[in-house]
């Protein structure tokens, strides 16, 4: 059923007023459009067809999160962007206008309808009174959509036509590139709709220069992402369906190219790189870990959360399955969905990476017992020293295996701290790739495949760490990591850490 003239006129006037309001009331660049849509099935009274309209402020997810203080080091604390009674509730303390309104109406929080109803000039009730119509919006029809989530049905039907204030016309959307089919684990052989996380969390390059490594007294710090390049075979760009498995090099290349970088990668932070995950090391600049730690940066804009021990991280498969479905629920604008406490579209929650069951707890709405991320460089240095005291340079195989056994199964099983990236990390953030001479050809092939522009450094490997079948491979890799650390220190001057 086409929109009535009354419906279209109402949507046009309201969306224009809301877009002007959004640009003033929120951080600049946060609100980018206002959209209105309707489900023809809901039409009951053609004379009041505007009553079935849904309206949404559309905004940049990460900017919205920062505007409301959601992306703090502790994952948001008491900041609650979801309310039991409706899709969106704003924390009143975060925006001056909302705070004044909250005081005016005597509430701690202000819902989106409250904001909409207090537009200056073209206020909701004034508009309705002037046109002799009823107030059409309540907490079930007014919402916030995080780009790229325009109205889209729950099933695989064509997209819902909507009016865009930005384009000032009706839009019949084509199937968006971020929409993917995801395996439905509860119904084998069937799929659900999901949103590709790479479309929601684009690459955000660093704006300043950082040293490659740092030193606090006698403690060195290196940030790295280590990997093993497995034999290649013909595989799809993203393994959306099927069992989990380690990616071969072809899959890794196609995934990185499709995403524009590494999707929420884990980073080691310590005197040594995480060579236990592979002998090839992407050496990152210090900002990947320090830009959110005092005295160098603010947790509000941090690239990563840094933990004092091992972080329990989700796999790319998890992100492309469970999280993809979660994102679709949050972004598609369907009236049946109610936002929860943590909204994935505003960035990954810190709690997700601090507990052994982080993703499972998060998806099932439970709080976990994980630890709080590190907040200062001093805390990081203390944690690194503690972990480094267990695994010392020059340890024999027997000494290493005894130390490894002593910490096996605990949060201190690694000789470095772990950072979990909060965004897609471009490979440009890793100036060097270091690996054994025997793997030089694989490294060059990988670099060419992903468009890596950094410098490849190969080292003589006395430990033959490319032997995947060696029963003492962990010890070999531990010794190898010291050679990599030595090489990194020759590649640039340290940042003297405060």
- For the ranges 202-206, 221-225, 371-375, the maximum mean pLDDT occurs at 221-225
Q: What's the confidence (pLDDT) of residue 271?
A: 96
Q: Is 164 domain-assigned? A: yes
Check residue 268 and give its pLDDT.
95
Last residue of a domain, one of 148, 165, 200: 200
Query: Between residues 319 and 72, which one has the greater pLDDT?
Result: 319
Mean pLDDT of 356-366: 59
Which of 101, 138, 92 is CA-nearest to residue 120?
101
Q: How confident is the model at residue 376 (pLDDT cuts 50, 70, 90)?
A: very high
Whole-angstrom distance, CA of residue 142 vs CA of residue 48:
18
Residue 93 in tokens: 């303390």
DSSP 412: T
Of 307, 261, 288, nearest to 421 (Cα)?
288
User: Do residues 227 and 108 both lie within one domain?
Assistant: no
Residue 44 burial (10 A CB sphere; 0-12, 13-18, 19+): exposed
Note down the domain range covering 225.
Answer: 213-309+371-496
Radius of gyration of the CA atoms of the chain, in A: 25
Is 454 a domain residue?
Answer: yes
Q: What is the mean pLDDT of residues 153-167?
A: 82
Query: Cβ atoms within 10 A of the Cβ of 336, count?
Result: 7
Return the half-sphere exposure (C-beta side, CA atoms, 13 A cut-off) of residue 38: 24
Contact status, residue 309 vs residue 417, Cβ threshold 8 Å: yes
- 326 CB neighbour count, 10 Å cutoff: 22
Of the residues 168, 200, 232, the one at which a domain ends: 200
Task: Give Cβ neighbours of residue 122 (< 8 Å, ≥ 6 apart).
Answer: 13, 17
pLDDT value at position 34?
A: 83
Q: What is the per-residue pLDDT for 428?
A: 93
Q: How many CB atoms lie within 10 A of CB 97?
A: 17
218, 180: one domain: no
Q: Mean pLDDT score of the chain, rounded to an integer?
A: 75
Instruction: Mark whether 464 and 421 lie in a shared domain.
Output: yes
Q: Report pLDDT for 190.
A: 87
What pLDDT shows up at residue 28?
56
Query: Between residues 151 and 138, which one has the greater pLDDT?
Result: 151
Q: Which of 341, 403, 387, 329 is nearest to 366 (CA)?
A: 341
> The whole model's pTM is what?
0.77
Rounded to an integer, the average pLDDT of 96-116 is: 46
Residue 79 shares a structural domain with residue 36: yes
pLDDT greater than 80 at residue 142 = no
* Residue 468: pLDDT over 80: no
- Residues 298-320 pLDDT 10s: 776 688 889 888 776 677 778 88
Residues 240-257 have a mean pLDDT of: 64
Separation CA 40–CA 53 (nearest Å):
10
Q: How many CA atoms lie within 13 A of 424 on its CB side?
A: 20
487 pLDDT more than 90 = yes
Q: Report the run of H or E that residue 436 belongs to, with start and end.
A: strand 432-436
Q: When comparing pLDDT for 21 and 392, which is higher?
A: 392
Residue 319 lies in a domain: no
**What integer pLDDT is reported at residue 109 of this predicted model?**
45
| Sole residue written with tokens 């929409």 | 179
Coil, strand or helix: which one is 435? Answer: strand
**DSSP three-state, residue 181:** strand
More confident of the two residues 251 and 284: 284
Q: Across-strand partners of 192?
A: 182
pLDDT band at 215 (very low <50, low <70, confident <90, very high): very high
* Judgement on whether residues 37 and 143 belong to the same structural domain of the protein: yes
Name the phi and psi angles at 425, rounded to 5: -105, 120
Residue 383 lies inside a defined structural domain of this protein: yes
- Per-residue confidence (pLDDT) for residue 187, from 0 to 100: 86
Phi, psi of 231 (to 5 degrees): -55, 145
**pLDDT (tens digit, 9 = 90+) per residue, 379-431?**
999 999 998 889 999 999 999 999 999 988 777 788 899 998 888 899 999 99
Q: Report the alpha-carbon distance of residue 29 to residue 109 in Å, rounded.
A: 23
Residues 458, 381 share a domain:
yes
Which residue did the predictor score with more confidence, 420 or 343? 420
Is the pLDDT reported for residue 238 higher than 50? Answer: no
| pLDDT at residue 121, rounded to an integer | 38
Same domain, 118 and 250: no
pLDDT value for 321 = 86
- E strand or H helix at 221, and its extent? strand 219-227
Q: Of 26-40, 262-276, 361-375, 476-490, which one has max mean pLDDT? A: 476-490
DSSP notation for 162-178: EEETTTTEEE-PPPPTT
Element at 283 (helix H, strand E): strand 280-284
463 occurs within a structural domain: yes
Domain boundary among 136, 169, 200: 200
Statement: residue 23 has pLDDT above 90? no
Domain total for the chain?
A: 2
Q: At 272, is the pLDDT very low, low, confident or very high (cuts 50, 70, 90)?
A: very high
Place of tokens 């929420």: 264
Does residue 334 belong to any structural domain of this protein? no
CB 143 within 8 A of CB 150: no
pLDDT value, residue 157: 76
**pLDDT value for 98:** 41
User: Tokens 């992100």 label which residue?
Assistant: 319
- Least confident range of 6-15, 84-93, 185-194, 482-491: 84-93
Say yes or no to pLDDT of 42 above 80: no
Does residue 350 lie within any of the structural domains? no
Query: For 456-466, what is the mean pLDDT?
Result: 94
Residues 111, 257, single domain; the answer is no
**b/e string for 457-490 if b means 16 or more Cβ within 10 A?**
bbeebebebbeeeeeebebbbbbbbebbbebbee
55 and 190 part of one domain = yes
Q: Do the Cβ atoms of 203 and 486 come closer than 8 Å?
A: no
Cβ-based neighbour number of residue 125 at 10 Å: 11
What is residue 251's predicted lDDT score, i.e. its pLDDT? Answer: 79
Alpha helices in 180-301 (DSSP H): 197-200, 249-259, 287-290
Q: Are 90 and 23 found together in one domain?
A: yes
**71 and 106 part of one domain:** yes
pLDDT (tens digit per residue) in 217-227? 999 999 999 99
Q: How is residue 438 written in tokens?
A: 């025997």
Is pLDDT of 339 > 70? no
370 and 397 Cβ atoms separated by less than 8 Å:
no
Q: Cα–Cα distances in Å, from 216 out to 123, 219, 288, 498?
A: 57, 5, 17, 7
- Supply 285's token pair: 């600049």
pLDDT band at 65 (very low <50, low <70, confident <90, very high): low
pLDDT band at 285 (very low <50, low <70, confident <90, very high): very high
304 falls within a domain: yes
Pick 173 or 293 by higher pLDDT: 293
pLDDT recorded at residue 358: 59
- pLDDT of 476 > 90? The answer is yes
pLDDT score at 420: 87
Whether 273 and 134 map to the same domain: the answer is no
């Amino acid at each position: 059923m086409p929109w009535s003239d009354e419906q279209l006129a109402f949507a046009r006037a309201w969306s224009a007023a809301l877009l002007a309001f959004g640009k003033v009331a929120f951080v600049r660049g946060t609100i980018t459009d206002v959209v209105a849509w309707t489900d023809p099935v809901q039409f009951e009274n053609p004379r009041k067809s505007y009553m079935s309209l849904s309206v949404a402020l559309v905004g940049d997810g990460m900017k919205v999160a920062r505007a409301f203080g959601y992306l703090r080091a502790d994952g948001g604390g008491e900041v609650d962007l979801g309310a039991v009674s409706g899709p969106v509730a704003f924390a009143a303390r975060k925006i001056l206008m909302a705070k004044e309104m909250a005081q005016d109406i005597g509430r701690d929080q202000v819902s989106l309808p409250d904001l909409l109803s207090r537009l200056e000039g073209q206020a909701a009730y004034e508009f309705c009174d002037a046109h002799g119509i009823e107030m059409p919006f309540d907490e079930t029809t007014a919402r916030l959509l995080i780009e790229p989530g325009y109205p889209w049905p729950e099933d695989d039907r064509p997209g819902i036509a909507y009016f865009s204030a930005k384009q000032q016309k009706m839009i019949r959307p084509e199937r968006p590139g971020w929409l993917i089919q995801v395996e439905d684990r509860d119904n084998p052989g069937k799929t659900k709709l999901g949103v590709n996380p790479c479309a929601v969390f684009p690459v955000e390059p660093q704006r300043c220069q950082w040293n490659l490594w740092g030193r606090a007294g006698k403690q060195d710090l290196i940030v790295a992402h280590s990997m093993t390049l497995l034999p290649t075979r013909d595989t799809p760009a993203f393994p959306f369906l099927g069992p989990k498995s380690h990616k071969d090099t072809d899959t890794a290349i196609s995934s990185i190219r499709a995403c524009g970088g590494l999707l929420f990668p884990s980073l080691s932070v310590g005197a040594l790189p995480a060579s236990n995950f592979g002998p090839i090391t992407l050496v990152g600049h210090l900002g990947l870990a320090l830009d959110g730690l005092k005295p160098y940066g603010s947790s509000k804009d941090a690239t990563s959360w840094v933990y004092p021990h091992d972080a329990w991280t989700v796999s790319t498969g998890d992100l492309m399955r469970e999280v993809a479905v979660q994102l679709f629920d949050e972004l598609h604008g369907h009236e049946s969905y109610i936002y929860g406490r943590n909204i994935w579209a505003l960035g990954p929650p810190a709690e997700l990476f601090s507990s052994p069951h982080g993703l499972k707890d998060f998806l099932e709405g439970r709080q976990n017992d994980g630890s709080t991320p590190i907040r200062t460089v001093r805390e990081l240095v203390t944690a690194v020293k503690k972990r480094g005291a267990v695994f010392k340079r020059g340890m024999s195989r027997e000494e290493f295996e005894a130390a490894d056994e002593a910490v096996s199964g605990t949060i201190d099983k690694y000789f470095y701290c772990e950072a979990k990236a909060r965004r897609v990390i471009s490979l440009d953030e890793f100036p060097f790739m270091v690996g054994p001479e025997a793997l030089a050809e694989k490294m060059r092939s990988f670099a060419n495949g992903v468009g890596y522009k950094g410098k490849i450094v190969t080292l003589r490997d006395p430990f033959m760490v490319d032997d995947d079948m060696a029963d003492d491979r962990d010890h070999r890799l531990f010794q190898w990591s010291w050679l990599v650390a030595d090489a990194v220190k020759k590649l640039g001057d340290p940042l003297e850490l405060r």
